[in-house]
Structure 1
Amino acid sequence: MLVIGPLRSSILRRRSWLDHQDHYKIIKNNYSRKDYDATFAIPMAVLKLVGLRLTHNDPVIVRFLWNVFYWFEFVNLFVVTFLELINMAQTARGGSFQDAIEIFRMMPCVGYLLLAMAKSYKIVYYRPVYENLISELRDMWPRGVVSDEEHEVMKTALTQLNIVVQGYYWCNNALLVIFLSPPFVEILKRVAGQDVPLIFPFFYWFPFDPFQKGYYEVILAFQTWHGLITIWFMLSGDLLFCIFLSHVTTQFDLLAVRVRRLVLVPVDRQLLSGYPLGKIQEEWNQNSQRLIGTIDDEGAEKVHLKELAQIIGRHRALIRLSGDVEDLFSFALLVNFFNSSIIICFCGFCCVIVEKWNEMVYKSFLTTALSQTWLLCWYGQRLLESSEGITDALYNCGWYKASQKIKSSVLIMIHRAQKEVHVTTYGFSVVCLASYTTIIKTSWSYFTLLLNIYEK
């Protein structure tokens, strides 16, 4: 984890323009692609730790070595998942409710392992699509000075994304530390002279006694490493999903700002300067130092048609990129949502029944699972809202002052924009906050059922 720690200061330096936003108007509205690249700093570093590199033109031998490194880690997780499943099967043969509780303790770990492998494999299998997404969104990123309205959109998006990336990253690190620390605490107690049993953080099956001297230390080191790469696999998929949707929704919001400025409406007795269209007109007059009346109707139509063609092209590109995100993450999201219901249920049960009040292993697991699921659903909701915002922007763009040809084009675009853009769980449900509510309700139903069985 020490490899990633210094990245925090690097990101803060690369985004230092946010700290000086109130000093000079030109500086605060000035953007470059470095601001875009900074948002990928942490996920790219995490991907490197699991043997994955995106947007790098490596030589064949270098890419081969990176692939060998990734598959070595992937096979390790596959083997330990198999060992945990064997242990679960053997524990289930006992038939007692205490054995069932032990299975409940294993379920979150197995689910987390399966989900981590699924997300990382998608990145390997669709590496060119991931690289294309990063490249296209980078080309769309504004460069130079932008308007105040666009600046507010970008400032809000970048601030939210920075909080999400940093928060989710450190939340998973905290989970890792809390989950892996109990065995080392017991070792320190034994060194201090206390007679306490040795424990492992994970429940592997072994054909030998793993607590023998020499075996225990090696197995504990391997389990610690397995915990690290599981978290890294999970982080790489989740952070890329959030960053991709953050940039797509930001581009939808910027497109809405551009649409609202499509047709300039002169300020008169009916359109006051305090209205949105009036403010756009006043700003246009101040920046251009000329009046809209200097352009004849034919010239205005040519300008509007050219701008509208660019808007339509950008809108279609964003819909296509949203479809790419859907293809890349929909199956992983299906597994994630199904797995989250089980993890939240069993972690809640372990928090209430198994763990003592001062133990934090499953409490931290539950917190991470809840925050991860909410995060994915929240960005799915943002995509829905930002794509639907294009419809409102088209209606408010002053189309009634444009030519009939422009009106027809705007009407067609309104019909298309009314069809929401979303990400689904492999076609079963739309990823949004309503889905999060469903997951919580389902988990609560499972939890209360288990609790009732336990009490009887």
Structure 2
Amino acid sequence: MSKDKTLIAKKEIYGTLRSCNFFIRRIGLSFVDKKPNTFLQKINVLSSFITASSFVALMLISEYVYIVYLLAKSVTLEKLMGSYLHIAGYDTMSFGKLLTIWYKKNTFRRVVNDLADIWPVDEKNPEAVAIKNKCLSTLRSRQSLYIFWNVLGVWLYNLTPVALHLYRLARGIPSDLGFVWQMYYPFDKTKPIVHEFVYIFETASGLYSVCCMLSSDVFFITMASHISMMLRILQVKIRSLGVVESADGKLIGGLHNCYDEIIDLINVHQRLIRYGNDLEDAFSVVNLINVLLSSVNICCVMFSIIFLEPLMEMGNKFFIAAALTQMGVVCWYADDIYRASVGVSDAVFASGWYNCNPRCRRALLLMLQRSQRPLYFTALKFSSITLNTFRSILTTSYSYFTLLYTSYRRH
């Protein structure tokens, strides 16, 4: 690809990562910005990352210490579920994703830059252009939906104590500003000034946690969408192999030599496989955490919505919307890559291979054999992630909720 086309490709790819990059910058990282060169720039980036990771880590530790404290006191089920177990699960996933994108930052930057070399910049085939436009449009809408649930949800949690405090004061009822989360502190958090600092800390921690979650998930679904899109465009090009039309639109028979074109498509296919495997290696641990905790998070927040915390009901509803959207889009794009990679073998069979010479047929046979080993994402190699995984998470969540409901009614 020429230099001008590469620049256009990078501009388009960076455009799809604009919202993702906004949140990644908040935690001191970036996969598209230039690397810091000066000492001050490096200090600024490092301090941003240390600040974000420290806030999320301290929040997570405080939440787990508080849960252990409640368990040690043998509190009731209502008290335990009211400790925001689902928030602790969310923060666990956020911290795991923060560590992942920090550890794999160079790999992600390389994948973004290398993808520009095979990005479809000047496609002439109307079907390929339609695939590209549809995929990019769908990606933008899903990015916006997922970001909306998470950002609005965390601000509802953050502002609910303030709204309740102002409401009570307006009614002439004595009131103190509450707290955002249920966390343990080794000091009296109700004292003047300390109370305000604690509230600011909890608000900032929640925002950093959401930034970590969105940075990882939006990057994952964006790159998965691009790989899936390019696999589908690859299918269109494969199906056109060996099919030659004359000026009047009639098919020309005989054996055709399209070996060089086949080799180019094989190289694109291999690179897409490598990109997919890089994403799988980077996110396999995170996907395992997602699968294990999503069912528990959904169950706990449903229990809180129905039986507990009426004042926080709206924030909890947005939380469950974010949780369902998060696992839904991850499973959707993981399943989409699986189906797109399988479709390559179908495209080879549907091509005009019978019009190609023996050399071209042998090359197509190699592509056919490789494409029959589909790409798929896993939860640390334990199980593949598809739409069936999402269904399984919902089923497991309902089972957990039924168990909690039974225990709650008995007491």
Regarding TM over 0.5, the answer is yes
Q: Report the alpha carbon displacement of residue 364 of structure 1 after superposing the two structures with TM.
A: 1.7
Secondary structure class of the residue paired with 1:143: coil
Q: Aligned-residue CA RMSD in angstroms?
A: 2.1
> Any gaps of 5 or more consecutive residues in structure 1?
1-30, 266-280
Deviations 1:119-153 (A, max 9, x none): 11111111110001101112221223522111110
Deviates more, 1:187-196 or 1:67-76: 187-196
- Structure-to-structure mapping, 1:278-357, within 5 angstroms: 281=245, 285=247, 292=252, 300-301=256-257, 304-356=258-310
Check if 1:151 corresponds to 2:105: no
2:47 corresponds in structure 1 to 68
1:214 corresponds in structure 2 to 193
Deviations 1:192-240 (A, max 9, x none): 2223454211112123332222222121111111111110010000000
- Structure-to-structure mapping, 1:4-403, within 5 angstroms: 33-55=10-32, 56-59=34-37, 61=39, 62-98=41-77, 101-103=79-81, 105-192=83-170, 193-264=172-243, 281=245, 285=247, 292=252, 300-301=256-257, 304-356=258-310, 359-403=313-357
2:3 corresponds in structure 1 to none
Deviations 1:65-99 (A, max 9, x none): 3023202220221112111222112222332325x
Structure 2: how far apart are the matches of 1:37 and 1:146?
22
Structure 1: how far apart are the matches of 2:185 and 2:83?
18
1:427 corresponds in structure 2 to 381
Are the equivalent residues in 2 in contact too, given 1:87–1:204 (CA < 8 A)? Answer: yes
Question: In 2 relative to 1, CA 95–236 (structure 1 residues): closer, same or farther, beyond 3 Å?
Answer: same
Q: Residue type of the partner of 1:178?
A: L
Secondary structure class of the residue paired with 1:386: helix
Structure 2: how far apart are the matches of 1:312 and 1:252?
11
Secondary structure class of the residue paired with 2:313: coil
Q: Report the alpha carbon displacement of residue 404 of structure 1 after superposing the two structures with TM.
A: 1.9
Q: Residue type of the partner of 1:403?
A: N
Are the equivalent residues in 1 in contact too, given 2:169–2:175 (CA < 8 A)? Answer: no
Q: Residue type of the partner of 1:350?
A: S
Q: How many residues align?
A: 400
Structure 1: how far apart are the matches of 2:310 and 2:23?
33
Structure 1: how far apart are the matches of 2:12 and 2:162?
41
Structure 2: how far apart are the matches of 1:36 and 1:47?
16
Q: Report the alpha carbon displacement of residue 373 of structure 1 after superposing the two structures with TM.
A: 0.6
Are the equivalent residues in 1 in contact too, given 2:96–2:286 (CA < 8 A)? Answer: yes
2:5 corresponds in structure 1 to none
Deviations 1:5-35 (A, max 9, x none): xxxxxxxxxxxxxxxxxxxxxxxxxx85433
Structure 2: how far apart are the matches of 1:291 and 1:422?
37
Structure 2: how far apart are the matches of 1:291 and 1:430?
42
Structure 2: how far apart are the matches of 1:216 and 1:190?
18
Task: Choose from 409, 430, 445 the match for 2:363.
Answer: 409
Q: Residue type of the partner of 2:27?
A: V
Structure 1: how far apart are the matches of 2:61 and 2:9?
47
Q: Residue type of the partner of 2:188?
A: D
Structure 1: how far apart are the matches of 2:174 and 2:133?
56
Secondary structure class of the residue paired with 1:71: helix
Question: Sequence identity of aligned pairs in percent?
Answer: 26
Secondary structure class of the residue paired with 1:359: helix
Are the equivalent residues in 2 in contact too, given 1:88–1:106 (CA < 8 A)? Answer: no
Structure 2: how far apart are the matches of 1:236 and 1:374?
17
Structure 1: how far apart are the matches of 2:363 and 2:120?
26
Q: Report the alpha carbon displacement of residue 291 of structure 1 after superposing the two structures with TM.
A: 8.4
Structure 2: how far apart are the matches of 1:320 and 1:129?
12
Are the equivalent residues in 2 in contact too, given 1:186–1:197 (CA < 8 A)? Answer: no
Determine which structure has more spread, i.e. the larger CA radius of gyration: 1
Structure 2: how far apart are the matches of 1:355 and 1:79?
24
Q: Residue type of the partner of 1:122?
A: T
Structure 2: how far apart are the matches of 1:442 and 1:51?
36
TM-score by length of 1: 0.83
Secondary structure class of the residue paired with 1:199: coil
Secondary structure class of the residue paired with 1:57: coil
1:439 corresponds in structure 2 to 393
Structure 1: how far apart are the matches of 2:355 and 2:110?
39
TM-score by length of 2: 0.92
Are the equivalent residues in 2 in contact too, given 1:105–1:346 (CA < 8 A)? Answer: no
